[in-house]
């Protein structure tokens, strides 16, 4: 359910590289050409363009984009053009180096851990080690306060089975274990971490269904009513939403980024870039269901210029 529109006939990586290099030359930059090329190429095509550009011109495409572009448009294009694993590793590192690690910022670590494929999460961890000479889990453990670190390390080190196989009996048993932990006000209990951190997405969704059937409330509602650490409660609710309804989570990220005074361009960019090749069509649909409004129109009404054109290109619009 991706939204990007790759042309039926795509120029060779060398031709795309030439178009981009030409866009950088002369007086000013041809931003529209950059959008037409990079905004309409998938992950593997962008990788070949980066490689071709380096081979032909002896320069890094990301470096040239960084020197030629500016503002939120520059951030969005670079985030999109980077290798996705490197992109997410850098996003995670930025969060972990921030002095104020609010729940809103730690959300990024949850998104990477809970809405990525198992292979992508491993790639992120490998990229993190290569970039920073440290492991993602070590940096989480050393920079995030307990018990949040305990949950985030469990999520970051998970390797989930990615097939749709579900054991309903296990789901019922583990729903009971989650309910017992909540009843004892122990949201960081080892049983909670084991279940949330090891079970497949499909198994966990079955467990969430079994929980509601057995105890009347959703797991999210009971977690919300559990006394104790408010930050842990908020983080665990975010994990549940990302596992159960990732499209609803990202619809909320988009809504929160454009509602109120000012725009949170970094969050808006992250949501669009991270999901454009995965499920942004579903995110768009959930946005309408949740807010009775068009996500595309909301974005158009809140941002402008080349930044707006680039985001709308990733959303599949013709610019």
* DSSP assigned state of 199: S
Whether residue 266 is annotated as binding a ligand: the answer is no
The two three-digit tokens of residue 258, written as one number: 């454009």
* Closest C-alpha to 220, from 211, 228, 229: 211
Report CA torsion sign: 78, 275, 43, 92: positive
In the structure encoding, which two tokens stand for residue 71, read together? Answer: 């503002």
Gap between the Cα atoms of 159 and 9, Å rounded: 37
Query: Are the CB atoms for 19 and 57 separated by under 8 Å?
Result: no
What are the tokens at 82? 């980077």
**Is residue 285 a known part of a binding site?**
no
Contacts of 295 (CB under 8 A, 6+ apart): 251, 254, 283, 284, 287, 288
Alpha-carbon distance of 279 to 287, in angstroms, equals 12
Q: Considering only CA atoms, give the Rg of the chain.
A: 21
- Find out whether 262 is annotated in a ligand binding site: yes
Residue 233 has which token pair? 């409660």
- Check whether 39 is labelled as a binding-site residue: no
Dihedrals phi, psi of 117, to nearest 5 degrees: -70, 155
Is 258 marked as binding a ligand?
A: yes
- 78 labelled ligand-binding: no
Are residues 140 and 153 in contact, defined by beta-carbon separation less than 8 angstroms?
Answer: yes
Which two tokens mark 212? 């509601």
Residues 10, 45 contacting (CB under 8 angstroms):
yes
**Element housing 248 (H / E):** helix 246-258
Q: Does 28 show up as a binding residue in the annotation?
A: yes
Binding residues for Ca(2+): 24, 26, 28, 68, 258, 262, 302
List, as residue ranges, the binding site. 24, 26, 28, 68, 258, 262, 302
């Amino acid at each position: 359910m991706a939204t990007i529109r790759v042309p039926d006939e795509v120029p060779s990586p060398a031709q795309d590289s030439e178009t981009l290099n030409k866009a950088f030359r002369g007086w000013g930059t041809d931003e529209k050409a950059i959008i037409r090329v990079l905004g309409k190429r998938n992950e593997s095509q962008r990788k070949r363009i980066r490689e071709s550009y380096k081979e032909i011109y002896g320069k890094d495409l990301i470096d040239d984009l960084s020197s030629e572009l500016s503002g939120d448009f520059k951030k969005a294009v670079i985030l999109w053009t980077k290798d996705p694993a490197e992109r997410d590793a850098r996003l995670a590192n930025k969060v972990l180096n921030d002095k104020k690690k609010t729940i809103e910022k730690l959300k990024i670590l949850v998104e990477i851990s809970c809405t990525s494929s198992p292979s992508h999460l491993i790639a992120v961890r490998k990229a993190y080690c290569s970039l920073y000479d440290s492991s993602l889990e070590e940096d989480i453990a050393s920079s995030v306060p307990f018990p949040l670190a305990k949950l985030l390390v469990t999520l970051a080190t998970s390797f989930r089975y990615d097939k749709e196989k579900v054991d309903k009996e296990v789901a019922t048993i583990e729903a009971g274990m989650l309910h017992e932990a909540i009843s004892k006000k122990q949201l960081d209990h080892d049983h909670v971490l084991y279940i949330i951190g090891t079970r497949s997405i499909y198994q966990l969704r079955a467990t969430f269904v079994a929980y509601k059937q057995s105890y009347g409330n959703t797991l999210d509602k009971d977690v919300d009513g559990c006394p104790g650490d408010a930050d842990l409660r908020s983080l665990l609710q975010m994990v549940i939403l990302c596992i159960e309804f990732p499209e609803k989570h990202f619809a909320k990220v988009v809504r929160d980024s454009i509602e109120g005074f000012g725009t949170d361009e970094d969050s808006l960019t992250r949501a669009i870039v991270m999901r454009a090749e995965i499920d942004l069509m579903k995110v768009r649909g959930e946005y309408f269901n949740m807010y009775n409004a068009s996500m595309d129109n909301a974005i158009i009404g809140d941002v402008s210029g080349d930044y707006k054109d680039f985001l709308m290109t990733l959303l599949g619009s013709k610019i």
